[in-house]
């Protein structure tokens, strides 16, 4: 099961404003995972976790990003391995056919040997990361600084401006890599400008969000 937090609990406590921490008091995000785990009939740990991944990580993260990035260049991606019959078949298989020691995608690689050369099957996975770390230290630094200025952060009331300033300084000087976290903070600020600063009523915000997502 994949969990990619932008920050740990200590960072969250330092980052969030007092009002936000009070509003989130008692909230536990793990209940979302628990609800899905309760719905699956799978008994093996790996298959239970894969079920949760299929319900959460695939539609809410991986597939959504893939669709947006491909459609942004007028391409329409296809995901043949997510054909519902294939997914149902894979879900029915025991976990020892999916992982062998530290080797993942074991069965897929075995089946692929009939069509693909070893160089392809054994090649390490490559993602498509965005170079936030470099951008925020160079060409995008002024834009980031303006968007996350102490006055702006204080006015929003969501984050601790002193801690945001600390993150910016550490990242710019190379003391730490806060690229992903800073991108998250920047996204929140740009989202607020796009949808909240317009003074839209809740129903208008919903319409604007729907139009922006298309």
Tens of pLDDT, residue by residue over 119-147, are 999 898 887 788 999 999 999 999 999 99
pLDDT value at residue 139: 96
Mean pLDDT of all residues in 68-91: 92
pLDDT value at residue 120: 93
Domain map (residue ranges) of the chain:
27-97, 132-213
Q: Is the pLDDT of residue 55 over 90?
A: yes
pLDDT value at residue 124: 86
Tens of pLDDT, residue by residue over 16-51, are 999 999 998 888 888 888 999 999 999 999 999 999
Cα 176 from chain centre: 20
Closest CA to 182 of 203, 199, 168: 168
The pLDDT-based confidence of 157 (bands split at 50, 70, 90) is very high
pLDDT value at residue 177: 95
In SS3 terms, the chain reads as CCCCCCCCHHHHHHHECHHHHHHCCCCCCHHHHHHHHCCCCCCCHHHHHHHHHHHCHHHHHHHHHHHHHHHCCCCCCCCHHHCHHHHHHHHHCCHHHCEECCEECHHHHHHHCCCCCHHHHCCCCCCCCCCHHHHCCCCCHHHHHHHCCHHHHHHHCCECHHHHHHHHHHHHCCCCCCHHHHHHHHHHHHHHHHHHCCCCCHHHHHHHHHHHHC
Please tell me the pTM assigned to this model.
0.74
pLDDT value at residue 17: 95
The pLDDT-based confidence of 204 (bands split at 50, 70, 90) is low
Q: For the chain, what is the total number of helices (H) and then of strands (E)? A: 15, 2
Lowest model confidence (mean pLDDT) among 43-47, 65-69, 180-184: 65-69
The DSSP result for 116-143, as a single string, is S-HHHHTSPP------HHHHTTTTTHHH
pLDDT value at residue 102: 80
The pLDDT-based confidence of 101 (bands split at 50, 70, 90) is confident
The DSSP result for 97-115, as a single string, is GTEETTEESHHHHHHHTTT
> Which tokens go with 198?
């317009």
pLDDT value at residue 1: 44
Which residues does 201 contact at the CB level (< 8 Å), separation at least 6?
Answer: none
* Percentage of the chain exceeding pLDDT 90: 63
Tell which wins on pLDDT, 24 or 163: 163
Q: How far apart are CA 214 and CA 206, in angstroms?
A: 13
pLDDT value at residue 129: 80
């Amino acid at each position: 099961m994949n969990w990619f937090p932008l920050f740990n609990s200590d960072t969250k406590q330092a980052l969030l404003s007092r009002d936000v921490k009070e509003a989130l008091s008692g909230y536990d995000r793990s209940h979302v995972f628990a609800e899905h785990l309760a719905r699956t009939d799978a008994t093996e740990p790996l298959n239970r976790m894969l079920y949760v991944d299929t319900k959460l990580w695939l539609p809410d993260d991986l597939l959504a990003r893939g669709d947006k990035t491909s459609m942004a260049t007028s391409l329409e991606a296809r995901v043949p391995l997510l054909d519902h019959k294939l997914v149902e078949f894979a879900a029915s298989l025991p976990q020892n056919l999916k992982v062998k020691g530290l080797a993942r995608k074991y069965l897929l690689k075995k089946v692929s040997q009939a069509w693909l050369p070893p160089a392809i099957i054994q090649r390490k996975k490559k993602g498509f990361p965005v170079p936030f770390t470099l951008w925020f230290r160079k060409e995008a630094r002024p834009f980031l600084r303006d968007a996350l200025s102490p006055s702006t952060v204080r006015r929003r009331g969501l984050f601790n401006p002193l801690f945001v300033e600390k993150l910016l300084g550490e990242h710019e000087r190379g003391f730490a890599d806060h690229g992903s976290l800073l991108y998250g903070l920047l996204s929140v600020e740009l989202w607020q400008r796009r949808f909240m600063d317009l003074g839209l009523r809740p129903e208008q915000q919903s319409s604007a969000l729907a139009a922006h997502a298309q």
